[in-house]
Amino acid sequence: MSINTENIENDKIMWYLLIHITSVLSAFIMGISGYLGRKFDLTPLVIDVNIKINGAEC
């Protein structure tokens, strides 16, 4: 598959590349953070809050 870049303005090609690079870097960073989270067991801090309304826990 090829793209006919002769008929596309340079500004549009630049924006397509920037959006593509941003999404690839974002996926890469999410993958690395998931790997590091599993390797070092980095679970988010969860605060256990029990709310009681009329005697029933919610």
Q: What is the pLDDT along the chain (58 residues), one digit of tens a residue?
A: 677 888 889 999 999 999 999 999 999 999 998 888 888 876 666 666 666 666 665 5
CB-based contacts of 36: which residues, under 8 Å, 6+ apart?
42
Backbone angles phi, psi at 38, to 5 degrees: -75, -40
Q: What is the pLDDT of residue 32?
A: 92
Q: What is the reported pTM?
A: 0.59
To which residue do tokens 């974002």 refer?
26
